[in-house]
Structure 1
Amino acid sequence: MIRNYLKVAWRNLLKYRFYSGINILGMSVGIASVLLMALFVQHELSYDRYYEDAERLYRVDFSARMAGNDVDLGATSAATGPVLLDEVPEVEDMGRFRTMGTWIVAYEDTRFQEEDLTFADPGIIRLFGLDFLAGNPETALSEPNTIVLTQPIARKYFGDADPMGKVLVLDGDEEYEVTGVIKPIPDNTHFHFDFFASAETLEETNSPIWLNINFVTYIKLREGTTEASVEEKFPGLVEKYVGQELQQFMGVSLADFSEQGNHIRYSLSPVTDIHLHSQMDEELEANGSMEYVWIFGAIALFILVIACINFMNLATARSANRAKEVGIRKTLGSLKKQLVAQFMSEAFLLSLLAFVIGSVLAVLALPYFNQLSGKTLSLDTIPWSTFLPVMLGVGLFMALLAGSYPAFYLSAFRPIAVLKGSLQGGMKHKGLRSSLVVFQFVCSIALIVCTLVVGQQMRYIQDQNLGYNREQLVTVENAYLLGDNLEAYKEELLRNPNVVSGTIASDLPTPSGRNVSIFYPGTDVNHPLAAPMVRWRIDYDYIPTFEMNLAHGRNFDRDFATDSAAVLINEAAMRQFQFSAEEVIGSQIGLADGEGSEIYDVVGVVEDFFYMSMRENIRPMVVFLGPNRGRVTFRVTAQETAAVLSAMEDSWTDLSNGQPFNYAFLDDEFASVYEDEQRQGQLFTVFAGLAILIACLGLFGLAAFTAEQRTKEIGIRKVLGASVLQLVKLLSKEFMLLILIAFVVASVIAGLLMQQWLADFAYHTTLSWWVFAVSGITALLIAGLTMSYQSIRAATADPVKSLKSE
């Protein structure tokens, strides 16, 4: 019986090969989309779940509010971890990371700039189960000046030689013995380091100060305990340790501090939640978003549903052509369930073909999808034991969704009515078909709107006045390696006619690690407006090199010897301290830190400029004058850029004693900040294109069928003098009306969704009417072109042949 069903199903697929081709193509693209997105979702959900006892691992987070300013950090002090291990019985183990930017790593004559270097406790090895290929995990990081490398890094520096016991030199003078080699950190991990240096090397590792937030701290809870039981002990620890530091450094008790509306709190984040649910400052890496996992998963599912709707619409639209078959089968004794089985077998066969073709398409498209998503997804890493049943379930769902309604609809025909020819087959259920067409184009138009809004926001970011000029700025990294030759390097390049200006400073107006300290207006350390502020240190030439503007006062000036005790602030700090324009210059502000308080004079106010992502408000900043030799930045002319870069490298080579030369354009650094948003926009574009392609395939088939069903009517109208344009309008107006309805619904839905998306940006564009207009017109044009071929073909057919065929 099943064999017969499949044989008949195959014959019907071949008989109606045009419609079968439309269905198979649409469903194949839908399956490929779901497969790729399932890979993406599975990868995102798998982050940090491969550790032993992963569910017992937590990161300790710090949050504070001072004078209305909130700080949320995925980091704590060096002292936090050891205290938790000693004083909280629920804590079984702890480990810490301390990252400190880029390093020059050397072995003999081999030197490279490395970014993926961290200092780590031995506890990190235990908590995250670093997979050792050489060395003893128990002792690898227990001594100062030891280091563990990943296998690719060991080969990079030592080739095939045994790296154990060899010495790497960091930044020209710090020697570290290699005590271990591990496998590379898996891709689905919230941190990726290649060098793990012993944290015991750092003096600050043993600092008792709780308000110095610079270590990322992890703990492992004992079996049977909960994070709530640990978090309820945090207030007591804050009172015990932070309270005395507030009194010591700011002269205020914790109770008074809290009464002013301020707070300092600690909390736990499950390690398995960090990648998709943590968006704090000082994350080790840019994390993903559960919101986008849901969004793109839903989009892929919608694309599959759109393809299934094509099958349903075309199957029910062709019901008149299958009616006599149903009538004869019923007359010969076929039961309804047998007819349902027959039509479902067609759906399953078509779905099987689509699944095979879609799987091939997914494999072929995987490299391109990786490029779009920024991932390194691979079929080799798939947990097939769970992934395969899920995908088979998707295939079964697709067959049931696509085939169930047509099967029950066709099997319900009454044989007497069918054989008498009284059945109004093809358009009987056009109300449902119309609703499904509307649903298809709601999804398609909504995706077009989303694509345009993301693009509009990216253009807004690119065109926004940043408060400085990011064009033609070249930053040379690790400038401190020049030592006493740094000033000579800068002066030599300033003699180049294509170098406009230069500045020596580590801090750049791009999101990166930031020093934050407590500042207060005036001389009263207990002032209620005291707040955490970003602290920079620059030279005299920084402001003019970056072409920043001063709202009040002046820049640091070599003619003023007192500027060593002066500061610049930004407008956000001016607002925070409630300084008026008349009084701000000459006002005093205080710095409270672990060494006491210092008072500085404000000599200038810099207009607010963006130095973080536009997702965040510009934060208050205090700028000091003084050496900060991490980078040297030059403003160059647009001409002869290659020659200038060559001159920079030549001068570096002459003065650096063989240290590697590394540079970057600031506008490239700026673009990388919004790389995720750019990728999201590209994914929206691709999926929007696929959705409207599949929807138009279905529309093409429906238009062809409609023209076929109305052949006699078209012939009569032509004989009576109807023009081709009138006939095209006749055949198209119903579908165009449906698309207009879809446009209205999609505009409302997409408008609400994108308004919420834009709300994640502190600085964003507004939803413009033209975005919706362009989306609607695009959908109408594409649909119109899709239908025009069939409509014009039907309208230009010979009416005599049309009437004879009837």
Structure 2
Amino acid sequence: MLKNTFLTAIRSFLKNKTVSLINVTGLGVGLATCILLLLYIWDEGSFDRHHKHGKEVYRIGINFGDFTAASSPAPMAEGFKSNFPEVLQSTRLFKYPMLESMVLKSEIDGELKIFQEPFGYYVDSTFFDVFSYSFIVGDPEKALQEPNTIVLSKTLADKLFVGEFTLDQTITLGLPEGEFDYRVVGVFDDKGLKSHINANFLLSMQNTDIGSYVEQENSWKNNNMFHTYIRVSPGVESHTVESKLNGFYQQKMGEDIQALGFSSNLFLQPLENIYLTSDLGFEVGPTGSRTLLYVFGSIGIFILLIACINFMNLSTAKSGLRAKEVGVRKVVGADKKQLVFQFLMESLVISLFSLLIALILVLILLPVFNQITDKALQYADNWNVMIFALGLTIVTGIIAGLYPAFYLSGFKPLQILKGVTLSSQSTVSIRKGLVVFQFVISVTLIGLVLVVQKQMSFMQHSSLGFDKDQQLVLPLQSNEAMENFSVLKNQLQNQQGVSMVSGGSVYPGIEVLQDWLLYEEGKTEDDVVDVIIGRASEDYLETLGMELIQGRSFTAAYPEMGNYLIINQSAAKAFDLEEEDAIGKILIMEWQGQKNEFEIVGLVKDFHFQSLHQTIKPFAWIPTQKPNYLVAKFETNQTATLLASIERIWRNINPSTPFSYTFLDQDFKRNYEKEQKTATVIFYFTGVAILISCIGLFGLAAFTAEQKTKEIGIRKVLGASTYNITALVSREFVVLVTISVLIAAPIAFFASGKWLENFAYKIDLGWNIFLLSGIIAVCVAYATVSFQAIKAALTNPVDTLRSQ
């Protein structure tokens, strides 16, 4: 029985080649889309799932009202562990401030290797009692228990050492304070490791470089620069622990903060949720977005629905071809159940053929998809997805074939064999409704693509308050490089193509870790303003092209390095200072019982130091002679030649520090990587949705043209033009797509508005964007249908009317 049903399904598939090909192509493209998106979703959802105690580990975040941080004060970890039995273990992670990478040196058999490596973190000795890492060499239970020890990733160990690796080898760490030796006590396997802590190497918190600083940090209200993690007892409710810890936290520092006019409270973030749900200030590394996964998942489901709709529409539209078959089968004894099973089997055969096409497409498209999403997805690593895809294929086959199966099996044999027409108004209405539903999805996606692209263009071309183009940034991440800043600056200023050179602790586009609570002279701590602090050397504002409104900048004409500030307009506004009266005002910062006075010497026009997601905040520059970054403004198109010259100068001045560089505009653009990735993926899959919808329209148009063959022939004989015939066939579909546009426009408007809420500075949503999306959809649909319409119009009427 099953074999006969399967063979009948194959024969039907081969007999109706055109319809079968359209269905297989549509379902194949839809399944390929779903598989690609499933691979991405599965990969994003697998972060931090490998930890043994993952479900009992939480990170502590601090909410300061208008700002929420992923970091916390230094004594919090030990304070919670010592006072709460529910907290079994705690550990801290520390990112060296304003240091994107560290210089690592290793010497094996007289060969010195020097690398500048990012993603290095200081951690407590309890780190591996909270987090689970697979060690290739060493013992995680003993690692980092001793001062000045380091644990490397396998990738980094292979770079630093040649041949078989052994423990206790020495690595020299280059920092702004000098060079420090660390002993290697372990290597962990980082292949396929997915964690929000994107560590390349881990350093013991007890050490000779920052160790003394860490030990003296015992304030609960200042220097929230540590990432604190706790492991609680199994079965303990997180909200119960959170309430207890927050009460203790308020006792320790609540009164001090409230005296400054601030309030804060802590909250717990489950470890397994951090990567997908956290987007706080001072994150350890880049994070994902659960919302983005919902968007991608929805796109995949909708595209598959569009493919299923194609199948249903074409199956019911072609019902007349199967009518006599159904009638004969019923006359010879087939019941409705058998017919339903037969038609569902045909649907499953088409789905399985589609899966084969989909797998081939995924194999071809996966490298491109990886490049778009910045992933390294593979079939072999995700068999769960493949099994899920097979299940999805079967479900898709059943869903796509269910309505046609019941529709076809419901024919009455007497009417069929008498030649009574089978079309019903309800069936036609359902088919039209499904076409409208298809294009509602497509038009909505087109609208979203246009909004996202317009917002991205707005962000890229908005005035940022500084000159981001042709700005070369050299990180001064070692003591050698920082000490030689002046020498390097002087030589680069004499380099042809370089117009200005300066330096700072930070530059626009990267995160600023330092802020001060300042209040104006004559006022009290009740009037403090939280001000972001950056350090700048001579000519910094001029090099970056920032506009000075009042006063002066830090230049060679004022070489003194006193307590001076250059503030932005937002800072002046926050202190209720008139711009013309701001110069000469004194701002006070209290630190450890001492008042530190700073004179305002300059006022700069507001600039976007951070992305357009965030509003411009009060900002102030203080002078420095040892910046962390050198910024060089260049005016030449021969970038490669200039970089080669700068690298030679660098190596002569800083032989022990690797040369690395970046461009300011590229760094600022990285703030929008998530949005750019979203825009690109939506753009491509919108094209897929339109393609599948048009495949369905193409099939329905061919069927309509076939039904109207004789009508078209008669009209041509009576003098109808090709345009008239084309309009006759196309009119119905254009009307349906137009209805889709009217329904999709408000949906796209609402979805776009929700997405734009993520930006402090954004475009205005106008009707023209959604009008354009509608015009695009109508034109594409008309072009698709017109092909069949023109083909029918050009057919010789003698051929179509010969039988009459």
TM-score normalised by L of structure 1: 0.95
Matches within 5 A, 1:626-775: 626-775=624-773
Matched, 1:777 2:788: no
2:249 aligned residue: 238
Offset from partner CA, 1:236-261 (integer Å, 9 cap, x none):
32343214655xxxxxxx4x55xx5x
Matches within 5 A, 1:354-753: 354-382=354-382, 384=384, 387-425=385-423, 429-478=427-476, 480-528=479-527, 530-560=528-558, 564-594=562-592, 596-753=594-751
Matches within 5 A, 1:101-250: 101=99, 102-108=101-107, 109-171=112-174, 173-184=179-190, 186-201=192-207, 202-206=211-215, 207-210=217-220, 211-243=222-254, 245-246=256-257
Structure 1 residues 98 and 51 mapped into 2: Cα distance closer, same or farther (>3 Å)? same
**In the TM superposition, what is the alpha-carbon distance from 1:525 to its structure 2 partner?**
3.8
Of 789, 792, 795, 1:794 maps to: 792
Q: Are 1:32 and 1:358, in contact at CA under 8 Å, matched by a contact in 2?
A: yes
Of 93, 97, 113, 2:93 maps to: 97
Counterpart AA for 2:611: S
Mapped to 1, the partners of 2:500 and 2:555 lie a distance apart of 16
Offset from partner CA, 1:420-478 (integer Å, 9 cap, x none):
11224387621111110111111111111111111111110110001000111111112
1:250 aligned residue: none
1:249 aligned residue: none
Mapped to 2, the partners of 1:48 and 1:235 lie a distance apart of 25
Q: Are 2:566 and 2:600, in contact at CA under 8 Å, matched by a contact in 1?
A: yes
Mapped to 1, the partners of 2:592 and 2:616 lie a distance apart of 26
Offset from partner CA, 1:729-752 (integer Å, 9 cap, x none):
010000000010111111111111
Q: Are 2:485 and 2:626, in contact at CA under 8 Å, matched by a contact in 1?
A: no
**In the TM superposition, what is the alpha-carbon distance from 1:391 to its structure 2 partner?**
2.6
Once the two structures are overlaid, the 10-residue window that deviates more, 275-284 or 157-166, is 157-166
2:13 aligned residue: 13
Structure 1 residues 713 and 11 mapped into 2: Cα distance closer, same or farther (>3 Å)? same
Counterpart AA for 1:653: R
Counterpart AA for 1:349: V
Structure 1 residues 316 and 22 mapped into 2: Cα distance closer, same or farther (>3 Å)? same
Matched, 1:71 2:70: no
Mapped to 1, the partners of 2:36 and 2:483 lie a distance apart of 54
Counterpart AA for 1:796: L
- 1:233 is paired with a residue of what secondary structure? helix
Counterpart AA for 1:493: L
**In the TM superposition, what is the alpha-carbon distance from 1:503 to its structure 2 partner?**
0.5
Mapped to 2, the partners of 1:426 and 1:700 lie a distance apart of 22
Q: Are 2:550 and 2:580, in contact at CA under 8 Å, matched by a contact in 1?
A: no
Q: Are 1:185 and 1:192, in contact at CA under 8 Å, matched by a contact in 2?
A: no
Mapped to 1, the partners of 2:432 and 2:505 lie a distance apart of 62
Once the two structures are overlaid, the 10-residue window that deviates more, 495-504 or 474-483, is 474-483
2:54 aligned residue: 54
Offset from partner CA, 1:60-94 (integer Å, 9 cap, x none):
111213xxxx2211011111101011012210001
- 1:263 is paired with a residue of what secondary structure? coil
**In the TM superposition, what is the alpha-carbon distance from 1:547 to its structure 2 partner?**
0.5
Mapped to 2, the partners of 1:282 and 1:477 lie a distance apart of 20
Q: Are 2:482 and 2:628, in contact at CA under 8 Å, matched by a contact in 1?
A: no
Structure 1 residues 561 and 16 mapped into 2: Cα distance closer, same or farther (>3 Å)? closer
Q: Are 1:110 and 1:157, in contact at CA under 8 Å, matched by a contact in 2?
A: yes
Counterpart AA for 2:214: T
1:85 aligned residue: 81
- 2:50 is paired with a residue of what secondary structure? coil
Mapped to 2, the partners of 1:239 and 1:778 lie a distance apart of 58
- 1:429 is paired with a residue of what secondary structure? helix
Mapped to 1, the partners of 2:349 and 2:146 lie a distance apart of 65
Mapped to 1, the partners of 2:252 and 2:507 lie a distance apart of 34
Counterpart AA for 1:152: T
- 1:667 is paired with a residue of what secondary structure? helix
Matches within 5 A, 1:324-343: 324-343=324-343
Q: Are 1:556 and 1:563, in contact at CA under 8 Å, matched by a contact in 2?
A: no
Mapped to 2, the partners of 1:596 and 1:244 lie a distance apart of 19
Offset from partner CA, 1:244-286 (integer Å, 9 cap, x none):
655xxxxxxx4x55xx5x3111111001110111110011112
Once the two structures are overlaid, the 10-residue window that deviates more, 584-593 or 349-358, is 584-593
**In the TM superposition, what is the alpha-carbon distance from 1:565 to its structure 2 partner?**
2.1
Counterpart AA for 1:359: L
Mapped to 2, the partners of 1:245 and 1:198 lie a distance apart of 31
Please, what is the CA RMSD of the aligned residues?
1.8
Q: Are 1:323 and 1:425, in contact at CA under 8 Å, matched by a contact in 2?
A: no
Mapped to 2, the partners of 1:408 and 1:397 lie a distance apart of 16
- 2:442 is paired with a residue of what secondary structure? helix
Offset from partner CA, 1:96-116 (integer Å, 9 cap, x none):
111112111111321111112
Q: Are 1:501 and 1:636, in contact at CA under 8 Å, matched by a contact in 2?
A: yes
**In the TM superposition, what is the alpha-carbon distance from 1:483 to its structure 2 partner?**
4.9
Q: Are 1:320 and 1:426, in contact at CA under 8 Å, matched by a contact in 2?
A: no
Offset from partner CA, 1:703-736 (integer Å, 9 cap, x none):
0000101111111111111111101001000000
Counterpart AA for 2:155: P
Offset from partner CA, 1:341-374 (integer Å, 9 cap, x none):
1211111111111122212222332222111111
**In the TM superposition, what is the alpha-carbon distance from 1:768 to its structure 2 partner?**
3.4
Offset from partner CA, 1:3-36 (integer Å, 9 cap, x none):
2222221111111101100000000011111111
**In the TM superposition, what is the alpha-carbon distance from 1:559 to its structure 2 partner?**
4.0
Counting aligned pairs with the same residue, the percent is 34
Structure 1 residues 182 and 175 mapped into 2: Cα distance closer, same or farther (>3 Å)? same
Structure 1 residues 19 and 521 mapped into 2: Cα distance closer, same or farther (>3 Å)? same
- 1:674 is paired with a residue of what secondary structure? helix
Mapped to 2, the partners of 1:373 and 1:266 lie a distance apart of 34
Mapped to 1, the partners of 2:85 and 2:489 lie a distance apart of 56
- 2:183 is paired with a residue of what secondary structure? strand
Mapped to 1, the partners of 2:179 and 2:510 lie a distance apart of 29
**In the TM superposition, what is the alpha-carbon distance from 1:482 to its structure 2 partner?**
3.0
Mapped to 2, the partners of 1:279 and 1:41 lie a distance apart of 18
Q: Are 1:95 and 1:124, in contact at CA under 8 Å, matched by a contact in 2?
A: yes
Structure 1 residues 204 and 359 mapped into 2: Cα distance closer, same or farther (>3 Å)? same
Structure 2, gaps ≥5 residues long: none
Mapped to 1, the partners of 2:491 and 2:641 lie a distance apart of 15
Mapped to 2, the partners of 1:484 and 1:375 lie a distance apart of 39
**In the TM superposition, what is the alpha-carbon distance from 1:328 to its structure 2 partner?**
1.7
Q: Are 2:539 and 2:553, in contact at CA under 8 Å, matched by a contact in 1?
A: no
1:266 aligned residue: 266
Counterpart AA for 2:124: D
